């Protein structure tokens, strides 16, 4: 994933991206253009939280356990 793509996905600014991931503006500003897997994973996790996917996954897992 490219740095610019990550920033667009998480709000379109370095400030919004930093807030979504829980790091400083300076940390995001220093990311390389080609993000390593560990940063890409954090971006995808933040995106899932923003879109409510984490809650949906947890609810589905709860239903599975109840059905078992």
**pLDDT one-digit tens code per residue, 2-33:** 999 999 999 999 999 999 999 999 999 999 99
Domain ranges of the chain: 3-67
Does 54 have pLDDT greater than 80? no
Q: Helices 53-67 & 37-50, crossing angle to 10 degrees?
A: 80
How long is the chain?
Answer: 68
Tokens of 44: 């995808």
Separation CA 46–CA 1 (nearest Å): 14
Higher pLDDT, 46 or 60: 46
CATH class of 3-67: mainly alpha
Tokens of 50: 């923003």
- How many CA atoms, within 13 angstroms, populate the side-chain half-sphere of residue 17? 22
Q: Which of the four pLDDT bands, split at 50, 70 and 90, describes residue 64? A: confident
pTM of the model: 0.77
């Amino acid at each position: 994933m490219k740095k610019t793509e990550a920033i667009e996905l998480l709000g379109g600014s370095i400030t919004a991206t930093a807030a979504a991931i829980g790091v400083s503006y300076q940390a995001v500003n220093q990311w390389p253009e080609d993000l390593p897997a560990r940063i890409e994973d954090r971006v995808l996790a933040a995106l899932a939280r923003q879109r409510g996917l984490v809650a949906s996954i947890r609810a589905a897992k709860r239903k599975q356990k109840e059905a078992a």
